[in-house]
Amino acid sequence: MNFISPIKISLKYLLAAKFRSFLTILGIIIGVASVIIIMAIGQSAQALILDQITGIGSNLIGVLPGASDENGPPATAMGISITTLKYDDLKVLRNGKDVPEVTDGAGYVIGTATTEYDGTNLNASFQGATASYINVENAKVAQGKFFSEDEETNMSRTAVIGFNLKEDLFGGDDPINKVIKIKDQNFTVIGILEKRGSSSFGVSSQDDTVFVPLKTAQKLLLGIDHLGFIRLKVRDASLISFAKENIAQTLRDQHDIDDPANDDFSVRDLASAVEIITKVTNVLRYFLLAIGTISLIVGGVGIMNIMLLAVNQRIREVGLRKAVGAKNSDVWTQFLIESVFISFLGGIIGIIIGIAISFVTAIIIQSLQYVWPFIISWQSIVSAIGVSFAIGIIFGIYPAGKASRISPMEALRYE
């Protein structure tokens, strides 16, 4: 059968009832555009998060307070405060004897407080960290210096600020040796870190953080004596598994734990963190994808409705075709091709709109200083085209079947 003729007839009926046709394919357009946008934004967000994690190095191991299942989040991620991790644990883990694979390590505590300079007040994140932060995190100082090991432990009121925070607080002024207030405590700025790039949404990045010596943050700002977490740098990524075993055993000795089932800490490597985050983001993507699929189904129902209406309006045409020799299969094919064409047209428009919105979204987010890649996978486009065809076929079969069963006698009686 000639496929061009059914398409021409389909276009004729679409143009004859433009508004109704628009409403019919709108569901397909919205559904396909949603699929493209969700896939693009999901992949971009996932790439952003994973880039932030891998950007600090592939040879890091994290130690967190509280036990957890290897495949699940640590207890601290659930908002539970656990105080089992101490500064002495960090010293033992990086002494080079108990865990020879570890070359350095850093301890951290985190918080949020009002940071003030010359009348400018910002609600900023702060980190108490050891002097080894620079080496462990592969951070670089753009101006001034980072605090020393002596300042780390002697309650020094010095601060190093991120690149964005420097701009927000000081503008064009030189911040070195200027005094800022954190929780009404005075700190002298001694350094500015190089710009690293914004982190994932809702997570504080180095560029927007104030760094102060660990003991100072513990005693003056937070009133605690435990660590929030530890990061350890391993000599080579191939030694990660050996290092994790030695770290766990060392901490058990430190905490007088005989049974691993009673561990009060979690040891995670970067690969585990990447795997967990990938699983979480995939689940979110698939959930949102399911919502977009609902729009496609709604669009399919709309196509079926307009095709059923077209059948009733074209009874005379179908009867006349049958009277001059058209077979049931010819009529069935005619209406099915029309249904697929309508769905395909909506799919193409949806793909174009989806790509355009994804591109604009990427531009806007990049303008906010996030490292947000514009990703449109060929799989998502092929899937959208395939789904459009499938919707047209599935929701076109019944109207096509109804049209094919019209008899010439019925057409003659129809007014």
pLDDT tens-digit readout, 231-269:
999 888 778 888 999 999 999 999 999 888 888 888 887
Residues contacting residue 360 through CB under 8 Å, at least 6 positions apart: none
The DSSP letter of residue 94 is T
Answer whether 405's CB lies under 8 Å from 328's CB: yes
Mean pLDDT of 64-82: 64
- The continuous run of DSSP H or E covering 90 comes out as helix 87-93
Distance, CA of 109 to CA of 46 (rounded, Å): 26
Amino acid at 89: D
Residues contacting residue 211 through CB under 8 Å, at least 6 positions apart: 126, 127, 128, 129, 133, 146, 147, 159, 160, 161, 162, 193
Could you give the percent of the chain with pLDDT greater than 70? 82
Q: Which range among 73-77, 91-95, 218-222, 360-364 shows the weakest confidence by mean pLDDT?
A: 73-77
Within the chain, what is the greatest distance between any pair of CA atoms? Answer: 101
pLDDT level of residue 376 (50, 70, 90 thresholds): confident
Q: What is the DSSP string of 331-388?
A: HHHHHHHHHHHHHHHHHHHHHHHHHHHHHHHHHHHHHTTB-------HHHHHHHHHHH
Ramachandran quadrant class, 118 (left: phi over 0; alpha: psi -120 to 50; beta: rest): left
Q: How far is CA 115 from CA 17, 119, 371, in A?
A: 62, 10, 26
Amino acid at 210: V
In the block, tokens 């050996």 appear at: 242
- For residue 29, the Cα-to-chain-centroid distance in whole angstroms is 24
Whether pLDDT at 78 is above 90: no
Distance, CA of 102 to CA of 91 (rounded, Å): 12
Could you give the percent of the chain with pLDDT greater than 90? 26
Q: What is the pTM of this model?
A: 0.58
Distance, CA of 267 to CA of 248 (rounded, Å): 7
Angle, in degrees to the nearest 10, between helices 328-367 and 315-323: 140
pLDDT level of residue 171 (50, 70, 90 thresholds): confident
Whether pLDDT at 151 is above 60: yes
Distance, CA of 366 to CA of 360 (rounded, Å): 10
Pair of tokens at residue 256: 């007088």
Whether pLDDT at 32 is above 90: no
Where is pLDDT greater, at 131 or 390? Answer: 131
Answer whether 124's CB lies under 8 Å from 113's CB: yes
Residues making up the chain, counted from first to last: 415
pLDDT level of residue 160 (50, 70, 90 thresholds): very high
pLDDT tens-digit readout, 288-310:
777 767 777 777 777 777 777 76
Q: Which residue(s) pair with 102 in the sheet?
A: 234
Half-sphere exposure of 136 (CA within 13 A, CB side): 21
Q: Which residue(s) pair with 148 in the sheet?
A: none
Give the model's pLDDT for residue 251: 93
In the block, tokens 């963190």 appear at: 273
Mean pLDDT of the chain: 81
pLDDT tens-digit readout, 106-133:
999 999 998 999 888 888 899 999 999 9
Which has the closest alpha carbon to 305: 17, 47, 33?
17
Distance, CA of 403 to CA of 406 (rounded, Å): 6
Whether pLDDT at 397 is above 60: yes
Interior CA angle at 170 toward 164 and 173, to 5°? 120
Mean pLDDT of 374-395: 81
**Phi, psi angles (nearest 5°) of residue 211:** -110, 130
Q: What is the DSSP string of 312-336?
A: HHTHHHHHHHHHTT--HHHHHHHHH
Pair of tokens at residue 358: 């994804």
